[in-house]
Structures are given as structure tokens and as C-alpha cells.
């Protein structure tokens, strides 16, 4: 059977010789911390969902209840009541920026934390209206949720998000993001160490360029809540340190970016926060590091590696 010339996946990327990132200050690695704020937007019958949340909690493999699941609700509430402030204090003490992937229903339920993000100068990227699976959601419903999500964040924070990340996305998400328009970047991709341009075909056949700033599911505290994941702060710190050290070494010739995913209800627990503290101590011992927000990485990429006019798979720019 011949290979499909129109195969939509890009298995090549930048290939053997990655593009030179040219990070500010000749940094070897751009380190970017993402704080996922989802508590209050997850699956819950109070939100009109058919069942309770199952994903990313202390109860690995939780069942979905067709009613309120009070244990699950309180696990999520730890993130918005306690964990978010513990994590924010750590970044405030060190004067470091981060990007918030904000679920708008969650932010609307906690205006104080939304204000805190803005006052600290952190970027708020839109993480959708709801923290639910969109794989089988009709495209028109997903598009409506996208509009509501953006409207709420603009109203609650006074700032229009320039980045997008669904997380539990669908085959329609990239197209819907491009059709909505106005996003500097989107992050529903995990397959590279560098940003890249993507051509997105929207309804009607028009091709629109979209910058992708990849995210991560490995250097991510979500693995505290998945099988064969992290069990202790030592596990998480060791993994983060090793990832950073490898990229820092490679960065002498080919600088890359390192994303770290955080969740208020997971890393915000006292038994896990030490991993973040130790990792921040570690990277602060290196001078050629750019700790920044995703929007800053995107703007840098646009300035140094502008859209080439079209993107040929296997020849990204």
C-alpha cells in the first residue's frame, strides 16, 4: 500500500539540525513554568455534567459518579483554597514569571486569584471554558465554549488571552483556534523542544498560519496522579533536574525550551512543593537560562523566525 502523500502528521519536524532559537542573553535553555488553574471548572453535576471528575486527583482510577462526589470535589478545592497560593508565593519570592493556563469557569468562581495572577504580571492563556474532555464534543459546541471562555477571562481579568491550550482537546481544536483568530500561539502539542509554525486549514479551505509553542506531559506534576508516575518530591525533582541538565548541555550548540506543568491541587501539596523549590534553586545556579512566559517565547519566535509564507512538512521554520 503506497504512503499517503497528504498524511497530516509531521513525524520529521526540524530533523537532524534544529533551528537556532537565538534566545535573549544567549541563553542555552528557555525555561517556562505553566500553572494550570482548573478547580471549579472540572466535571461535576453542579456544572451540568452527567458525572463527577475522574482525572488528575489523589484518587487514581476514580470512578465517575452520576451524582456529587464530595471527596473529588474537596481534592480539587484544595488547589483553589491552598495550593495556588503556596505555588504563587514561591514565584513571588524569587521574582519569577509564569504562564497560567486558566479555565474561565474556574477563574470566574475565584476573582481574587484571577486578580493575583494579573497583579503579579503572569500571563493568562485561555484553557477553555470547561475542564472536560472535548474528543467527542460536536465542533459547534466546542466553538461556543471557546467563545464563552474567552469572554469570561477578558471580563474577569481585563486582559485578552493571546495563548490557547485545551488539554483534553479534539480533532477540531486546532481548526477552531485558527478560526477564532487573534491568538499569538496555541499549545495543544507535545512533540517538540522548540516552537514551530503550522498551516491550519479552516472551514472553506483557507490556510492560516499558527505558531505552536509545545507543552509537555512528562516534566509535569500530573504524573503524581497517573500510574507509573512520581511518588515523591524527590522523584519529580530528579526528573526535572535531569531534563534541564541535558537541555543545558545541548544548548551550547542548539538551545531548546523546557516546559514544566504544575497543578494547584497536585504540586500545591506540602509533600510535593519541595520539588519545585529544589528545582528553582538548581536552575538559579546556571547563568545562561531564560525563565519566561510562553507569550514571551512566542513573541521572540515571531521576531526571529517569522512565518515563512507556507510550511512544508519536514521543513519547518
Q: Which among 134, 164, 132, 130 has a CA at the least distance from the CA of 56?
A: 132
pLDDT tens across 266-278, in order? 999 999 999 999 9
- Does residue 310 lie within any of the structural domains? no
Cα–Cα distance, 262 to 82 (Å, whole number)? 14
Q: In the predicted model, is pLDDT for residue 285 greater than 90?
A: yes
Please, which residues have CB within 8 angstroms of residue 226's CB and are 6 or more apart in sequence? 56, 60
- Does residue 314 lie within any of the structural domains? no
Give the residue, 218 or 49, on which the prediction is more confident: 218
Q: Indicate the number of domains in the chain.
A: 1
Cα–Cα distance, 245 to 192 (Å, whole number)? 17
The domain containing residue 168 runs over which residues? Answer: 24-304
74-88, 190-204, 241-255, 299-313: the lowest-pLDDT one? 299-313
Q: Tell me what pLDDT residue 316 has.
A: 42
- Does residue 315 lie within any of the structural domains? no
Q: Tell me what pLDDT residue 314 has.
A: 43
Which residue, chain included where needed, has cell 477563574? 107
Residue 317: pLDDT band with limits 50, 70, 90: very low
- Does residue 313 lie within any of the structural domains? no
Q: In the predicted model, is pLDDT for residue 46 greater than 60?
A: yes
Q: Could you tell me the CATH number of the domain that includes residue 179?
A: 3.20.20.370
- Does residue 5 lie within any of the structural domains? no
Q: Tell me what pLDDT residue 310 has.
A: 65
Cα–Cα distance, 44 to 156 (Å, whole number)? 22
Cα–Cα distance, 293 to 195 (Å, whole number)? 13
For the chain, the maximum distance between any two Cα atoms, rounded to a whole number of angstroms, is 59
Q: In the predicted model, is pLDDT for residue 315 greater than 70?
A: no
Cα–Cα distance, 200 to 174 (Å, whole number)? 7
Residue 309: pLDDT band with limits 50, 70, 90: confident
- Does residue 309 lie within any of the structural domains? no
Cα–Cα distance, 262 to 34 (Å, whole number)? 6
- Per the prediction, the chain carries an average pLDDT of 93
Percentage of the chain modeled with pLDDT above 70 = 97
Cell of 210: 499558527
Q: Tell me what pLDDT residue 71 has.
A: 87
- For residue 278, CA distances in Å to 225, 235, 239, 240, 243 come to 21, 12, 12, 10, 14
Tell me whether strands 207-212 and 289-292 are parallel, antiparallel or unpaired: unpaired
Please, which residues have CB within 8 angstroms of residue 173's CB and are 6 or more apart in sequence? 134, 142, 166, 188
pLDDT tens across 137-149, in order? 999 999 999 999 9
pLDDT tens across 47-100, in order? 887 877 787 877 687 888 898 988 888 999 999 999 999 999 999 999 999 999
- Does residue 101 lie within any of the structural domains? yes
Q: Read off the pTM.
A: 0.93
- Does residue 183 lie within any of the structural domains? yes
Cell of 165: 491550550
Outline where the chain has alpha helix (H): 70-78, 84-94, 104-108, 111-119, 139-157, 173-180, 233-250, 270-283, 294-304
Residue 158: CB atoms within 10 Å = 10
Cα–Cα distance, 14 to 165 (Å, whole number)? 23
Amino acid at each position: 500500500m503506497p504512503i499517503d502523500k497528504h498524511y497530516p502528521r509531521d513525524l520529521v519536524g526540524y530533523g537532524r539540525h534544529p533551528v537556532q532559537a537565538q534566545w535573549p542573553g544567549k541563553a542555552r535553555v528557555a525555561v517556562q513554568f505553566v500553572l494550570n488553574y482548573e478547580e471549579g471548572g472540572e466535571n461535576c453535576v453542579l456544572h451540568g455534567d452527567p458525572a463527577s471528575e475522574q482525572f488528575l486527583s489523589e484518587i487514581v482510577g476514580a470512578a465517575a459518579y452520576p451524582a456529587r462526589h464530595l471527596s473529588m470535589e474537596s481534592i480539587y478545592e484544595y488547589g483553589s483554597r491552598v495550593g495556588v497560593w503556596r505555588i504563587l508565593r514561591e514565584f513571588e519570592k524569587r521574582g519569577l514569571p509564569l504562564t497560567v493556563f486558566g479555565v474561565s469557569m474556574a477563574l470566574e468562581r475565584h476573582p481574587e486569584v484571577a486578580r493575583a495572577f494579573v497583579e503579579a504580571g503572569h500571563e493568562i492563556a485561555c484553557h477553555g471554558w470547561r475542564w472536560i474532555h472535548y474528543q467527542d464534543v460536536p465542533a459547534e459546541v466546542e466553538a461556543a465554549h471557546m467563545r464563552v471562555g474567552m469572554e469570561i477571562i477578558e471580563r474577569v481579568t481585563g486582559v485578552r488571552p493571546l495563548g490557547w491550550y485545551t488539554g483534553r482537546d479534539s480533532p477540531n481544536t486546532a481548526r477552531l483556534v485558527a478560526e477564532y483568530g487573534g491568538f499569538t500561539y496555541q499549545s495543544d502539542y507535545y512533540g517538540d523542544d522548540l516552537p514551530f509554525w503550522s498551516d491550519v486549514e479552516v472551514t472553506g479551505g483557507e490556510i492560516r498560519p499558527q505558531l505552536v509553542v509545545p507543552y509537555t506531559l512528562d516534566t509535569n506534576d500530573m504524573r503524581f496522579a497517573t500510574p507509573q508516575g512520581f511518588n515523591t518530591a524527590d522523584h519529580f525533582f530528579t526528573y526535572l533536574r535531569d531534563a534541564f541538565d541535558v537541555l543545558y548541555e545541548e544548548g551550547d550548540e542548539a538551545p531548546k525550551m523546557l516546559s514544566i506543568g504544575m497543578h494547584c491541587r497536585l504540586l500545591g501539596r506540602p509533600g510535593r512543593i519541595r520539588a519545585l523549590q529544589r528545582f528553582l534553586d538548581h536552575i538559579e545556579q546556571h547563568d545562561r537560562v531564560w525563565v519566561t512566559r510562553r507569550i514571551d517565547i512566542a513573541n521572540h519566535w515571531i521576531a526571529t523566525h517569522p512565518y515563512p509564507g507556507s510550511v512544508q512538512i519536514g521543513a519547518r521554520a
